[in-house]
Structure 1
Amino acid sequence: MTPEIISSDFEVTKETETSKTYKLSIDKIQGSVDQIEALEQAIYKVLNTEKYEYPIYSFSYGIDLDNLTGKDVDYVKIELKRRIQECLLQDSRIETADNFNFTVNGDEILCTFDVSSIYGKTTITKGVNV
């Protein structure tokens, strides 16, 4: 028995997943958003979900911030930058997270940074208690 050679003429195309999602607020769903607005919402959600805390999410989802409490401010700044980048760069829509600026106000560090994505650039702010 001789093996048959099968010829196939097909083209592989790469499709980008849609970014359309429900627009969430604190108390209700308000229509839908897509592209940069959907990405900003996803960033907000992942940066406000403590890693390993909720069994519904995989261990790669969220950010580990609990163990930064009580640490030296300079250490927290360095770690916060690294952890934010590590967390956000898992999203294929995000290209870079950079231009980090930190403001210390008592026991809180306010971190502002830019996110470049396939939809454009946006500025994000995240507060962390130390």
Structure 2
Amino acid sequence: MIPTNDGLQHDFELENQPTKTFKLNLDKNRIVGKIDEIEALKQAIFLILSCERYEHIIYSWNYGFESNDLIGKPIDFVMSEVKRRILEALLQDERITGVDSFEFNRNKKKLHVTFTVHSIYGDFTEETAVNHQND
């Protein structure tokens, strides 16, 4: 038998949980307090894009950014794939509503990518770098 809504009404409201997390000082490899909302989201984006997807069993297969297989590929292919993969990685986070305005700047070994993140806390610009040449 297929369940149906028999007139029951929900007597609860959904609430967003706080996003408070530990603030990482990457230069000193230390935790230095706590952050919330937009700063926590910026740190989450940095961590997502810094973690190679499928490489660490502690993380879900939905977490991280695939970049290792782009090394040695043609730069036009790398640029289109980086855009798609950044979108795929970041839109897993429910605080992010969109990512656009991609700009690419390449040098010999790295492709620097700047993009705009639209979130429930506001819009901001982020950047990352992807290796496209062997070291």
CA distance in 2, matches of 1:30, 1:97: 29
Matching of residues 1-130 of structure 1 within 5 Å: 10-26=10-26, 27-130=29-132
Q: What is the identity, as a one-letter code, of the residue corresponding to 1:35?
A: E
- How far does the alpha carbon of each residue in 1:9-53 deviate from its partner, in whole angstroms, 9 at most, with x for none? 652311112111000112100100000000000000000000011
Question: How many angstroms apart in 2 are the aligned matches of 1:127 and 1:79?
Answer: 13
| Secondary structure, aligned partner of 1:23 | strand
The one-letter code of the counterpart of 2:86 is: I
What code does the residue aligned with 1:61 have?
Answer: Y
Displacement of 1:87: 0.5
Superposed structure 1 runs of 4+ greater than 4 Å apart:
7-10
Tell me the TM-score normalized by structure 1. Answer: 0.91
Task: Provide the rounded CA distance (Å) in 1 between the counterparts of 2:106 and 2:10.
Answer: 57
CA distance in 2 between counterparts of 1:73 and 1:9 reads 55
2:4 is aligned to: none
RMSD: 1.3
Amino acid at match of 1:24: L
Distance 1:72 1:8, change over 3 A: closer
Larger Rg: 1
SS, match of residue 101 in structure 1: strand
